[in-house]
Chains A and B, each alone.
Chain A
Amino acid sequence: MMEHIEYFIYIWPDLFKGLIVSLQLSVGALLLGLAIGLPMALMRTYGRGLVKTLAVMYIELIRGTPMIVQLFLIYYGLPDMGILLDRLPAAIIALGINSSAYQAEYFRGAILSIDEGQGLAAQALGMTKQQAIVNIILPQALRLVLPPWSNEVIYMVKYTSVAFLIAVPELMARGKMLISKTFKPLETLFWVGVIYVIVLSIIAKIVDMVERKLAIPGFQMSREDY
């Protein structure tokens, strides 16, 4: 038992550095995903013609392909076109683009679930369509989107481990490096796993608290449902 703890104390500084990178990746990707995802959702829901088609194509293209393909396209493919990115920004961009498509669908689902009468009532008050979307629909939809969005947070933290495949020194990569140094694969992976489980349960707790804080009566949508 003692030696396991000692081993953990030995590898912890490295794993901690990796964890910080994992969290940076997650935050960066989630924010980028939000910045692209929300406009995509609006384009797909309210857009017409080319605008709508573009949004649909973007979302379905991303959702239909593995994250690792997107990562390799950006990290190995873009230099073909003269765009050279460092590992970390390449990973954040790839993960962010991936997340944006899923976030767009969560937003769209939430917008569509807002009763049509809400928009009509707003227009009956004399609001323009834009005003109705911004003032009436979105504030409601953003609350509804919280449960699926918190799922996306947890997904994203897990999937940052894919960045290890382009040697971003995040948690998984640190674990692999330690394995080649100490030749203790199972023990190392065990502790890596423990860190993921603990960090994710803390994040889940925080998200739960935020959800409860922002809850409005009659606006519950259970995250456990699906």
Chain B
Amino acid sequence: MPKPILRIENLHKKFRDTEVLKGLSLTVYEGEVVVIIGPSGTGKSTLLRCINRLTEPDSGDIYLEEQKIEPGKSNFSQIRQQIGMVFQDFNLFNHLTAVQNVAIGPIKVKKMDKKKAYDLAMKELERVGMAEKAGNYPAELSGGQKQRVAIARALAMDPKIMLFDEPTSALDPELIGEVLEVMKDLANAGMTMMVVSHEMGFAREAADRIVFLEDGVVAEEGSPEKIFNNPERERTREFISKIARLNSGGDDRGLNNK
């Protein structure tokens, strides 16, 4: 039986009058890659942001391994460090070079020795194929390169799980492949991942489980095989075919060119 890394129980979140999450429960196991799909406005991003408390949920509990995630508790920062997050619009620190972006977390948060932190940062940049651009500022990088640095930044904290919030949706089509490639490598290396994305090619190839979110709860989940080819619910089928049409042919961009 695989070990649960992240356990979400009965999560509720309201914005003004709209209830976005309506008692959502989900468990992610060690080494698992979970891809979350669903119509816009169903709380996919909110779910991720509630996990590391960038958004405060109204009720419900979230556990990282056996520790409950609670802001205000003394170990909150430590828990947050163990949850890597990759944002849709990268959010690289604009005043820092690529290598500084990756090193700042270990230096400031883990109080790591600077030399060690930069060595680590270079290693992580190499891992995402960005070592040559280590000295460049974010403004000098393409969107795809920025996102790869952002992934390295999260990896440098040695997280137990990585959250990806639509990591490719702000990218020009020709730059999506390089980011998905890095994510696939991570998945193959056994990283536990939760990915909000409509990149069907990635989902098909890398996901262990697809979670279809609708109306603030998990409407259907299962292997990619089942969700794509044999969904139980009509709504899921409709949604999948809509996405497939939107992606038309481009659904495995960059993945079949190696």
Are A and B close enough to touch in the complex, i.e. CB under 8 Å?
no
Chain B contact residues, CB within 8 Å of chain A: none
